[in-house]
Amino acid sequence: MTTLLPEAPPDGDPPLVQDRPRVVSPGFTTGDQVFRRGTTVIGVLVLVITGAIGLFLGYQSIPTLQRYGLGFFTENQWRPENDVIGISSTLLGTLQVALLALAMAFPLALGTALFITEYAPGRLRSGLVSLIDLMAAIPSIVWGLWGFFLIQPHAKNIARWLTEYAGWVPFFHVDTDPTAALWAQTRFTSSVFIASFPVAMMILPMACAVMRGVFAQAPAGEREAALALGGTQWGAIRTVVIPFGQGGIIGGTMLALGRALGETIAVVLIISPDFDLKVRPLEVGTETVSALIAGRFGEATSAQLSALLTAGFVLFLITLVVNTVAAIFVGRSRSGSATDL
């Protein structure tokens, strides 16, 4: 039996049978609705909690800015007894420690990542990856002990040597005579330079893991092309692996920077607080935001507590920006979304 299509109506009239999309109900059972409502509640709860933390920190900056004004960011001394409070030197110290640590960690992380993916024999590879992950799990206080008890005695000699030969450059200058027979050892301890060592070790595994992840995905076809043209192993790395992994290199480095900015305990164990606005990493004395909070929270009045919270909020914002930039770089690279940060 043939079925005839309904006749088309004359032009201008609406069609006889409308074909609107049907509303399909998702068909959730009661159990499903409970499940969905329940997880939504949890999600919202976590959103509220974490959001509230961020908002609270931001909110605390209001009384601080009201009381100290924008001078909070330009004042370098922290003398609560005179009600003179500012974080300019603290921020500068945080930046110095983080950047110097990054300068130490970056070549080591890059070299280790290349070693693991390109040079290590196959059987060792997973063992080395585990070792790097283990390094990331070592508590920061252990690195702090390492820095203070093992590294500082030797590193201060390196600092003295650097001052002796390069002290005419302000960056390397220390206010003492490095060539004296009994040189002032205490002028070279508890400095940005020494604090950078444990921080560098802490951030290195993070950067290395991200870089290693992208290097491992470098396209084998292009690598073969480089070798087939007569290139050496390094030629293939330089032409294929590193350009491919650019996003991961930058992203991993920025992620490490974010972590370095917030590192507290290793810095607290090593540095001696000093609020002078100076860029002399070899010299004794500096202060970072996290060390400031750790050191001053106990005796802080409510105004100073607000100030500490504001400083913490500023640190949080800086770290947030750095992490976001890192994620963009990794996401935009050719290795893209396959890498988890």
Partner 1 sequence: MTVLSERPVRAPAEPTPPAREPRRDVRSRSVDEQLSVPGAAVSAFALVWVAFTYVLPWSGKVGFAFCWLLAFLVILTALTALTSPRPVVVNRLMSALVSAAALVVGLALASAVVYTLVRSAGSLRHLGFFTSDMSGVRPTDPLTRGGVLHAMVGSIIEIAIAVTITVPLGIGTAVFMSEVGGRLAKVVRTVVEAMTALPSIVAGLFIYTVLIIALGFNRSGFAAAMAISVMILPIIARGSDIALRIVPNGLREASLALGSSQWQTVWRVVLPTARPGLTTAVILGIARGVGETSPVLLTSGASTFLGFNPLTGAMNSLPLYVFSAVRSGQTLYIARGFGAASVLLLLVLVLFVIMRRLARQQATR
Partner 2 sequence: MTSTLDDVFGEAAVAEVPRGGSDLEALDVSAWFGSAKVLDRVSLRMEPATVTALIGPSGCGKSTFLRILNRMHETNPVAALAGEVLLDGDDIYSPTLRITSVRQRIGMVFQKPNPFPTLSIEDNVTAGLKLTGRRVSRSEKADLVEECLRRGGLWNEVKDRLGDLGGALSGGQQQRLCIARSLAVRPDVLLMDEPCSALDPTSTRRIEETIHELRDQVTIVIVTHNMQQAARVSQRCAFFLAEQGTPGVIVEAGDTAQVFGSPVDPRTSDYVNGRFG
Which residues, 189 to 228, sit near partner 1 by CB under 8 A? Answer: 201, 204, 208
Residue 14 near partner 2 by CB under 8 A = no
Name the residue with tokens 């040597």. Answer: 161
Residue 115's binding partner among partner 1, partner 2, none (Cβ under 5 to 8 angstroms by kind) is: partner 1
Residue 239 near partner 2 by CB under 8 A = yes
Range 306-335, binding partner 2 (CB under 8 A): 334
Count of CB atoms situated within 10 Å of the CB of 282:
24
Among 69, 71, 243, 336, binds partner 2 (CB under 8 A): 243
> Which region, judged by CB under 8 A, interacts with partner 2, from 25-33, 40-48, 208-216, 240-248?
240-248
Tokens of 281: 């990493």
Count of CB atoms situated within 10 Å of the CB of 6:
9
Between the alpha carbon of residue 121 and those of residues 63, 110, 126, 127, 209, the distances in Å are 59, 18, 10, 11, 18
Cβ distance to partner 1 smaller for residue 278 or 287:
287
Between the alpha carbon of residue 332 and those of residues 46, 48, 208, 329, the distances in Å are 29, 30, 19, 5
Give the strand pairing for 78-79 and 84-85: antiparallel
C-alpha 243/C-alpha 255 separation (Å) is 19
In a 13 Å sphere around the CA of 147, the CA atoms on its Cβ side amount to 28
Among 227, 277, 325, 328, binds partner 2 (CB under 8 A): 227
Range 110-139, binding partner 1 (CB under 8 A): 110-112, 114-116, 118-120, 128, 130-131, 133-135, 137-139
Residue 32 near partner 1 by CB under 8 A = yes
Contacts of residue 161, Cβ cutoff 8 Å, sequence gap at least 6 = 178
336, 205 in Cβ contact below 8 A?
no
Provide the 8-state DSSP code for 115: I
Among 39, 50, 77, 232, binds partner 2 (CB under 8 A): 232
Give 292-314 as a DSSP string.
Answer: HHHHHSTT--HHHHHHHHHHHHH
Range 61-100, binding partner 1 (CB under 8 A): none
Range 98-137, binding partner 2 (CB under 8 A): 122
Largest CA distance in the chain: 114
Cβ distance to partner 2 smaller for residue 181 or 228:
228
| Least CB distance to partner 2 at residue 226 (A) | 6
Range 257-316, binding partner 1 (CB under 8 A): 258, 261-262, 264-265, 269, 290, 293-294, 297, 302, 305, 308-309, 312-313, 315-316
Residues found near partner 2 in the complex (CB under 8 A) = 122, 219, 221-222, 224-232, 235-236, 239-240, 243-244, 334
